[in-house]
Amino acid sequence: MRFSRAATKRDAVVTAIADYNRRQRMAALTKHLGTCRELMTPKELSAMRESN
C-alpha cells in the first residue's frame, strides 16, 4: 500500500494486478521486436514528410 499510495488494501491489489498485466503485455511485445520488415526508416519518413 505504501508504494502504490492506495487508500485501501483492495486498491493496492487492483493496482498490483494492473501493473503485473501491463508488464506481461510489454514482455510479450518484446518478443516481436525487430521482426517487422515493412516499417519505414527515419530517413524514409522524413523524406515523405518533406515531399508533402
CB within 8 Å of 8: residues ≥ 6 apart: 1
Q: What are phi and psi of 8, to 5 degrees?
A: -130, 165
Q: What is the pLDDT of residues 14-47, one digit of tens each?
A: 999 999 999 999 999 888 877 777 888 889 999 9
**Pick from 7, 31, 5: which is nearest to 19 by CA?**
5
pLDDT of residue 15: 94
pLDDT of residue 18: 96
Distance CA 4, CA 7 (A): 9
Distance CA 5, CA 12 (A): 8
Burial of 46 (0-12, 13-18, 19+ CB in 10 A): exposed
